[in-house]
Chains A and B, each alone.
Chain A
Amino acid sequence: MNYALHILVYFEIYAIFALSLNLVVGYCGLFTLSHAGYFAIGAYTYAILSVSKGFAFLPATLAGCLIAGIGSLAVSLFAWRFRGDTFVVATLAVQAVIFSTLNNWFSVSDPVGSFSNLTNGPYGISAIPHTRVWGYSTDSAIAMLVIGGVLLCVCLFCFQRLLASPWGRLVRAMRDDELAARSLGKNTRLVKVQAIGIACVTAAIAGSLYAAHVRYIDPSLASFNENILVLAMLVVGGTGNLRGPLVGAALLTCMPEVLRLIAFPDALSANIRLLVYGLTLSILMHTRPQGVAGEYRLQ
């Protein structure tokens, strides 16, 4: 039972993460490979503040959102000038810089969270305290499920309202024809900054939730493979609407459990899971580039 709850919490975390990526990829039409970096920023901020300063969930998450929001300007700056492959490579550079910083900002002789050992480098941060919300410690899987569920619903509601608003229509107009949107007097640069900022802040929320639930994080959260995982969720589920990321997160969170039913050798199960991800990505690009439940075809 506890295991099933764990899987559900993972679904909630990755659904929020995929929703945030969908705003950039599916609504802005900007294919980014740096999103896992912002997920990791949220997770690390939460972990550092809760371990070294005793912060509770909400203030630590808010701090993570603030840092991710400011950091999102790195991607926005490139979004102003580039599209297509150049933008992809630029975001990859942002991801690599975030990963290297998390991996290298450590000194074994100093306590975790101090300036000289901020991230504890490749050793990661362990024993992250149980989440506290308004003074209540939430050390059970059900409590995490409720918190994750509430956050997912809040994110879904906010995204739905935002994307149904004139701002949401402007974002889609910019995606479909940026020049036309600019010719109508719309400030597309500002819209990109706003959309990427919101997406990175939402990714940081998912990262905080991840750190609070798993209670151990390391720089692999910002790795290329983590990017691939969330990208696979988005591409499989579909882009350009709110259903797609939810479907993708559900499918790819459940896939390892389904594969578990087939008696693969333990040593190969991780490889087979990734192999299925790769195969799925490749086949979907040929058969259904908008994903299982998406509306927007990747451009």
Chain B
Amino acid sequence: MRSGLQLLVNGFASGCATALLAVAFQLVYLPTGVFFVAIAAIYAVAPFLLMSAVSRGIPVWLGIAFSVTSCAVLALLTEWASHGRLSKLGASSTVHLVASLGNYILLVQLIAIVWGNNPFTIRAGLDTTAHMGTVVVTGTQLTMIVVALIVLGGMFLLLLRSNIGLRLRALAENPMQFALHGFNANSYRLIAFGLSGSLAAAASLVTANDVGFNANSGLSPFLVAVVAVITAGRRSLIAPVVGALMLGILRAQVAWVWSSRWQDAVTFGLLVVVLLIWPEGILAGKSRVEAST
């Protein structure tokens, strides 16, 4: 019973970090249709930026702000230099995907050239722990959960209650009609990319505090986040959060029952099963996928 609860908490904490990244991916994918692989590189660079800032004597809170802002700027740059231009050329989704893959490789190699290929850690020494009944929660896990709740809460307030959010959702529904109503679709695309970059940075910083980071550490969490999006439902902003939490708990169970080595196999195996049974995602309404592809 105790181990079951403990696993639930562990899974929930890692699911929170995945949820941040899943929403970051979805924020670009829904309104623009861009499969934003380069966000994995933006995720990877965030802790390096914080580490560099702190090592130059900048306070941690300012370093975090610097890292999050820089990641948002980096995401904006990829839109300005790559996807925005490709969209004007009428490029297909596959062309966007390949370009984003190219951007990902480019950014990751730049990170490796600047900071090296070695792994780093942000946290020094042992983590603090808190006992909640029979369950032990580490300080890092608590940070993950609190940060995810605050950031996602703020993001959903923005998306569901503000004009910007309404327009981003309108852009996702029908970009052509959105532009015909006089809105500048390009500026809203930029907003989507900027928000996505900053969310990815938040996800990365809370995870780096737990497990460390290196230049290539973005791809694996990115793929798990994509699985969360696809399994839960691609047409929603909230479904990926549920998907990420489910995946987090499932992966924690797999690590406990079998081995952490099988986590990825089970994660992607689940994706295969879901795609075969619920092509639109577990939480999506029923519709034939051929209609939308």
Contacts and interface: CB of A to CB of B under 8 A. Distances in A.
Contacts of A286: 82, 85-86, 89, 99
B112 to A, nearest CB: 5
A278 B102 contact: yes
B183 interface: no
A57 B75 CA distance: 49
A160 B64 CA distance: 57
A165 interface: no
A298 B272 contact: no
B95 A289 contact: yes
Interface stretch (B15-23, B103-111, B130-138): B103-111
Contacts of B219: 224
Interface stretch (B2-10, B120-128, B155-163, B258-266): B258-266
A185 to B, nearest CB: 19
Interface SS of chain B: helix, strand, loop or mixed?
helix
B276 A231 contact: no
- Report which residue of A94, A271, A279 has the largest number of chain B beta carbons within 10 angstroms of its beta carbon: A271
- Report which residue of B89, B102, B275 has the largest number of chain A beta carbons within 10 angstroms of its beta carbon: B102
A137 interface: no
Interface size class of B (residues with CB under 8 A): 35 or more
Contact of B93 (A81, A84, A289): A84
B271 A275 contact: no
B279 interface: yes
B228 to A, nearest CB: 11
B272 A97 contact: yes
A257 interface: no
B268 interface: yes
B272 A93 contact: yes
Given A93-B268, A93-B271, A298-B94, A279 B110 contact: no
B109 A31 contact: no
- Report which residue of A97, A101, A283, A299 has the largest number of chain B beta carbons within 10 angstroms of its beta carbon: A97
A282 B268 contact: no
Contacts of B110: 275
Contact of A89 (B101, B226, B290): B226
Contact of A85 (B97, B259, B261, B264): B97
Nearest to A100: B265
Interface residues of A, number: 46
Contacts of A101: 265
A103 B227 CA distance: 20
Contacts of B259: 104
Contacts of B109: 271-272, 274-275, 278
B5 to A, nearest CB: 28
B289 interface: yes
B52 interface: no
Interface in A29-46: 31
Interface in A59-109: 74, 77-78, 81-86, 88-90, 92-94, 96-97, 99-101, 103-104
Given A94-B272, A275-B109, A281-B102, 4 more contacts: A77-B276, A271-B109, A274-B109, A278-B109
The 9 residue pairs across chains A and B that have the minimum distance between CB atoms: A278-B105, A281-B102, A282-B102, A100-B265, A278-B106, A275-B109, A96-B268, A285-B99, A93-B268
